[in-house]
Structure 1
Amino acid sequence: MSNQTLNILDFSQGSIRTLHLTWFAFFLSFVLWFNMAPLGPLLMDSFNLTDDQWKALAVLNLALTIPARIVIGILVDQFGPRRVFSTLLITAGLVTLVFALAQTFQQLAILRFLMGFVGAGFVIGIRMVGEWFPARQVGLAEGIYGGWGNFGSAAAAFTLPTIALLFGGDEGWRYAVALTGVIAILYGLLFYRLARDTPKGSTYFKPKRAGGLEVSTRADLLFYMLMNIPMYLVLGVLAWKLSPADIGLLSQTLTLSLYGVLVVMFVVQFWQIMKVNQDMLRDGTPEHDRYRFKQVAILGWAYFATFGSELAVVSMLPIFFYQTFEGVSLAMAGMLGGAFAFMNLVARPSGGWFSDRFGRRKTLTITIFGLAIGYFVLATVDSQWLLALAVLAVMSCSFFVQAGEGAVFAMVPLIKRRMTGQIAGLTGAYGNVGAVTFGTFYLFVDASAFFLFIGLCALVVLVLVQFLDEPRGHMTETLPDGTVQMIEVS
């Protein structure tokens, strides 16, 4: 391979084989995570679900993903992506099989809540791809991994209803869901057999202690603590959505209990982070081993604006098209809304490629600015627009959103190698924080104000991105014998 090219068809290269193995594992994890949504009408008929019960299942599907991305990041750094991805796929496949056998709404709710952890699969591949590709190619490789894998949600929407109809009858949805579980289990076994954590002869660096990010200064420790607060607030919002104040799945007593659990979880995490960083607090961090936590924080907020807005917008676009443009059927509205997610195939790799070639902060600046303008344009779309122009505006905005996602994770593997999983977990969790934030805001406003709000948030993130440090030179890790190894980042 040359310094700038990446031949994705050259299977003689171990890195290319690993990339394909890994993006497909991520693809399957997203098929599992989103295998319920396209089968919604069939499930609602089968269980006589109310609209509120269906909304509750949708909320439960997201609830566990935020803490799961943090936990999975810790596990990946400690045990390696090969073991963790295999275990995730097999476990999620088994839960999916049980979901296909569910007989009551309560069983559906519990199993959908448990399925939220499969949404953390994305974090695993970030570390694996980062191990196999040099800095000059890692952005494009991560973009292909994220973009092609993320297409699993669209693939589920396009194929599962047809599969359910092929099986036929009231139970067709069960066979369609079960099929995805069986495929995931088989691929999890195959992934364990074929994948490797690192190229031959390379060291897989692990954190000194598990349980939280190691930071370099006391100021960074405080910054890290503050960055955890929005995640717990969003989990509180999800609990509120299930409470009598909104959907009503939970009683007031259980809702208050959940709030208490979240407080306890935060205290436990605070204690764990202090424990992980006790050496730094006592002795400081060697100069060669330092990194700036602001890099992680800014990338997290950038993912808040990019992936967070994508999740929120994809869920409302079909009804937006249906209500805005006369003559658009529900089926057509669904297809038009799907255009936003479809751009993942090319946009996310493009963001990674531009990052590798022209600079990571510059690319992130351009994409965040572009998506802000895109959302401001969408805020003006109404029934007076030509439908074709509205679709063009959606796809243009979508390109910048997903290219921005690619630009974020073009930089994540270049901060601190031994903690790439945890950095990816925290960054990815902020995408879900954004989704819940924007989705909750949409409950109280119309579509125009919704798009305008996302655009304004993106402008704030645009300012933050200017404080990113462009990766240059090398980062360091220490081998078991005490030798300091230099890892190229530019």
Structure 2
Amino acid sequence: MGEQQMIDTARGEIIQKPSVKEGMRVIFSAPTFVTGALYFCSFGAELAINSVLGNYYGKNFPYLGLQGEGNWAAMFGLLNVVFRPLGGVAADMAYRRTRSVWAKKALLHAYGIITGAFLIAIGLTDSHHLPTMVGLIAGMAFFLEGGNGLNYALVPHVHPYANGIVSGFTGACGNLGGIIFAIIFRYNGKNYGKVFWIIGVITIAMNLAVSWIRPIPKTQIGGR
């Protein structure tokens, strides 16, 4: 092994194809579960909300018409273009200041808990005042969509030799969340507000439940 390879190994930066056994160990490790669980809540909620938001606006503001409710609902997805990268930028700034992966993880949980609070507020108020509803949705979008970017700022630190497995598992959990939350919407009919606060409670509970888990395994070479 050359000198540069030894340096890279010490930093935990050697990329190699993991065996099936190693892959299973990565998937079922606690730090990988954290990224999957939180993406289940953030991206999963985003997918489900995107599918019903137009109908929610139509229910609470029937005067908007199909065009109006569609336009306001589209704003939620459009904000993703700005808010998701901002989440990643916030994670990088936190890491640069502290040189600790814990800073990224703490910020990710903070975004998740605030997202849950916004979701609960939207659901409980079930506002029929358009500026209030739009403001709550925009505030929720800032933290929900920013959380997506934050999550993928944490992913490369977790088992860097198997980054593809961690990334794929995390993304799959996001899609699973979209399915589960969509089913909850499906079985609550037009009671959209109720589902919003249910998702908010799930999001806060999930973040608190995994907040104690180390961002990277104890045995991992490199990282802090």
Asked if these proteins are the same fold (TM beyond 0.5), I'd say yes
- Once the two structures are overlaid, the 10-residue window that deviates more, 323-332 or 463-472, is 463-472
Counterpart of 2:161? 418
CA distance in structure 2 between the aligned counterparts of 1:472 and 1:360, rounded to whole angstroms: 15
CA distance in structure 1 between the aligned counterparts of 2:72 and 2:111, rounded to whole angstroms: 23
Aligned residues between the structures: 203
% of aligned pairs identical?
23
Whichever residue aligns with residue 389 of structure 1, its letter is T
**Cα-to-partner distance string for 1:284-335 (whole Å, 9 max, x where unaligned):** xxxxxxxxx1000011110011000000000100011012113102111111
CA distance in structure 1 between the aligned counterparts of 2:125 and 2:57, rounded to whole angstroms: 10
Give the number of the structure whose alpha-carbon radius of gyration is greater.
1
Cα gap change, 1:373 to 1:210, in 2 (>3 Å): same
Counterpart of 2:193? 448
Q: Do 2:113 and 2:203's aligned partners in 1 also have CA atoms closer than 8 Å?
A: yes
CA distance in structure 1 between the aligned counterparts of 2:36 and 2:126, rounded to whole angstroms: 32
Question: What RMSD over aligned residues (CA atoms) do the two structures have, in Å?
Answer: 2.5
Whichever residue aligns with residue 19 of structure 2, its letter is R
Cα gap change, 1:473 to 1:357, in 2 (>3 Å): farther
1:209 and 2:19 equivalent? Answer: yes
CA distance in structure 2 between the aligned counterparts of 1:356 and 1:471, rounded to whole angstroms: 17
Whichever residue aligns with residue 397 of structure 1, its letter is M
Q: CA deviation at 1:468?
A: 2.9
Counterpart of 2:38? 302
Counterpart of 1:431? 174
Counterpart of 2:98? none
1:409 and 2:219 equivalent? Answer: no
1:374 and 2:114 equivalent? Answer: no
- Once the two structures are overlaid, the 10-residue window that deviates more, 301-310 or 465-474, is 465-474
| TM-score normalised by L of structure 1 | 0.39
Cα gap change, 1:430 to 1:418, in 2 (>3 Å): same
Q: Secondary structure at the match of 1:327?
A: helix
CA distance in structure 1 between the aligned counterparts of 2:219 and 2:90, rounded to whole angstroms: 20
Whichever residue aligns with residue 205 of structure 2, its letter is V
Task: Specify every segment of 5 or more residues in structure 1 that has no aligned partner in the other structure, as ranges.
Answer: 1-134, 136-202, 225-292, 477-487
Q: Secondary structure at the match of 2:131?
A: helix
Cα gap change, 1:323 to 1:214, in 2 (>3 Å): closer
1:395 and 2:138 equivalent? Answer: yes
Task: Specify every segment of 5 or more residues in structure 2 that has no aligned partner in the other structure, as ranges.
Answer: 1-10, 95-102
Q: CA deviation at 1:214?
A: 4.6
| TM-score normalised by L of structure 2 | 0.82
Counterpart of 1:386? 129
1:489 and 2:223 equivalent? Answer: yes
Where does 1:9-20 land on structure 2 (aligned, <5 Å)? none
CA distance in structure 2 between the aligned counterparts of 1:353 and 1:460, rounded to whole angstroms: 26
Greater helix share, 1 or 2?
2
Q: CA deviation at 1:471?
A: 5.1
CA distance in structure 2 between the aligned counterparts of 1:428 and 1:451, rounded to whole angstroms: 22
Q: Secondary structure at the match of 1:343?
A: helix
Q: Do 2:158 and 2:217's aligned partners in 1 also have CA atoms closer than 8 Å?
A: no
Whichever residue aligns with residue 428 of structure 1, its letter is G
Asked which structure has the greater RCO (Cα within 8 Å, sep 6+), the reply is: 2
Q: Do 1:361 and 1:468's aligned partners in 2 also have CA atoms closer than 8 Å?
A: no
CA distance in structure 1 between the aligned counterparts of 2:77 and 2:210, rounded to whole angstroms: 24
Q: CA deviation at 1:356?
A: 2.2
- Aligned partner of 2:84 among 339, 348, 351: 348
**Cα-to-partner distance string for 1:32-68 (whole Å, 9 max, x where unaligned):** xxxxxxxxxxxxxxxxxxxxxxxxxxxxxxxxxxxxx
1:337 and 2:106 equivalent? Answer: no
Whichever residue aligns with residue 378 of structure 1, its letter is I
CA distance in structure 1 between the aligned counterparts of 2:77 and 2:167, rounded to whole angstroms: 21
1:458 and 2:194 equivalent? Answer: no
Q: Secondary structure at the match of 2:64?
A: coil
Whichever residue aligns with residue 441 of structure 1, its letter is I
Where does 1:215-294 land on structure 2 (aligned, <5 Å)? 215=25, 224=28, 293-294=29-30
Whichever residue aligns with residue 371 of structure 1, its letter is T
Counterpart of 2:5? none
Cα gap change, 1:463 to 1:204, in 2 (>3 Å): same
